[in-house]
Every structure is written in C-alpha cells, then in structure tokens.
Amino acid sequence: MLSRIIKVYILICFIAYLGCLSEALGQSTFSSLLLTGDGSQTDSFAAAANSPTMGATLQISRNTSGSGNEQGAALDLYAGAQGQTLRIWVNSPGFTGAKAPALTVDNGAGVRLFTYEVISGHPNRWTTNPFAIYPVEPTTDPSMLAIWADVDAPGLVVAPNSGTSAGAGNFQDAAFMDGRGYERLAIDGAGTLQWSGQVANTYGGSKWDTTLSRSRAGLLSTQGLQVTEILQNAPYSFGALPNPVALANGAQVYCADCVFTSVNRPCSGGGAGAMAFVIGHAWICN
C-alpha cells in the first residue's frame, strides 16, 4: 500500500514539473516541450529551447527514418474500442467562456470539424519570417471549406462508390441542400445533374424528377425546357449544316442563307435565312 502511495506521489510531482516547465518555457518564442527520438526503445526525450520551429507548446520530432514496413511514426495514438482518439478544443463562438472541440478523431479515424477548413498549396509571401508562413485562403468570402490547388490538375476529385449493384459506378458524387436542409441538387458518377422537388434531407427520400445529362458528343438531354427570355439559335450556313442522317428527327437550327418557303421544302442555299428542321433525316426549311 505504501509503495502505491509513493508511486502516485512521484507521478503527481512529475506532472507538476511538466506543468511548471511548460509555463516557464511557454513565455519564450520557442516550444514549451520538445520530444525527440529515433524510433527505438532508447528514444531520448528532452525539453529544449532549440526546437526546429517557434511558438509551439509541444513538438514531437523523429530524428531518423526507417524503410518499408519498419518505418516508425513521430506520434502514435490509440483509443481502444471506445472513446475518441484526439480532440482539439477552442473557445466556442456560441457560448461565452465555454469551450468546444473544434476537431475530433474517433477510434475509427473518422474526423469531425466544428470550424472551417482551408486546403491550400499557396503560402503567404508577405513576410520574411519563415515561422509566419501559412497557407492562405483562395477567397475572402466566408466559407466552411476552401480549396486552392497548386497543381495543373483538378483541385478536387470525387469518385463514386464502385459497388456491384445495378448501375454500379453511377452513384451520387455530390448532393447539395437548400437552407432548410433538403436535398435539391445532385451529381452522379456519370455527370448527370439531378433536381428534386420533393423535400427530404436524404437522397433516397428525395424525388429526383428533373435531369440534365449527356446524350452524346455535343448534345445534352433533359425532360423539357422552358425559356423565359429570348432563345438565340446559333446561325449555320447552308453548306455547314450537319449531316441530317446522323441527327434525330426534330433537330432544328437557324440557316442564315437558306431559302425561306411557306411550305416545307428541302433546304437550299442562296436565300435570306430560314429555320431548318430535320424531318425524315433531311433538312426541311420553312
């Protein structure tokens, strides 16, 4: 019993020592506590003021690198079967004096954020202090997620579930809600835009009754189109009209130099312009 009391006393003294050390070193521009090691069982841990960066309360530095499956980590966290592996606390903006976890990592490595996130490959260049360089936002507009790519490639890539059910590969890549939390717009893996008029906050509960999809090269397909402003047809010359055999009946363009007739006749050039329609896989003007 006495030995346990002594062990507890020693532990309390050690924790108090670390607290005093952190407070004392924290007044400087260096780290309060620096842990270093080479990944072996003889790791050395030292509190020092010669840390590689400034201003951190705690730094963990791995001095050596392994190879293959023998690579070690600067930090390993394990929470077991229950509880959260990591929490980062901040002052809660909604409660005076209260604190809330801004970031949590559960025991399945799931990450939850209480605040905004910036993913940027562009550091600020307006300082000569190397310790004051940080990633900058792509916009000054308030946002919960801002991405600024520094690669000649998409800044964001999303792949749908590649399950084995019917239509595999065409599951939804993204869904967007209105201000009430109802899903209104979705994009599936084939690039089809879907709109819902039925209010629900789940994809399965929404009625996706309007779509806009790719039919073939240069052609979009939808259920209907209502134009509330002027619809401007791009003009074609008679000689530039596409081959009507390759087009569906009902296709239409404005032929700028076709001959206008009061009855349906095959289109011909040399006129003042007419609407041209594909009927029977031939261009008919009137």
Cβ count within 10 A of residue 34? 21
Same domain as 240, residue 218: no
Question: Would 216 be classed as within a structural domain?
Answer: yes
List per-residue pLDDT tens for the chain, 286 residues long: 545 555 545 555 555 555 554 444 444 444 455 555 554 444 444 444 444 455 666 777 666 555 555 567 777 887 777 778 888 887 766 655 567 778 888 888 888 888 888 888 888 776 666 667 778 888 889 888 999 988 899 898 888 777 655 444 457 888 999 888 899 999 988 889 999 987 888 888 888 889 999 888 888 899 888 888 888 888 999 999 999 998 889 989 999 999 988 888 899 999 999 999 999 999 999 7
Domain that holds residue 100: 84-148
Same domain as 94, residue 140: yes
Same domain as 104, residue 128: yes
Question: Would 125 be classed as within a structural domain?
Answer: yes
Question: Would 198 be classed as within a structural domain?
Answer: yes
Largest CA distance in the chain: 112
DSSP state of 259: P
Give the Cα-Cα-Cα angle 217, 220, 221 (nearest 5 degrees).
130
Nearest to 193 by CA among 216, 174, 166: 174
Q: How many domains does the chain have?
A: 4
CA–CA distance from 109 to each of 69, 74, 77 (Å)?
A: 21, 17, 10
- Rounded to two decimals, what is the model's pTM? 0.62
Question: Would 94 be classed as within a structural domain?
Answer: yes
- β-bridge pairing 84-91 and 172-177: unpaired
Same domain as 89, residue 54: no
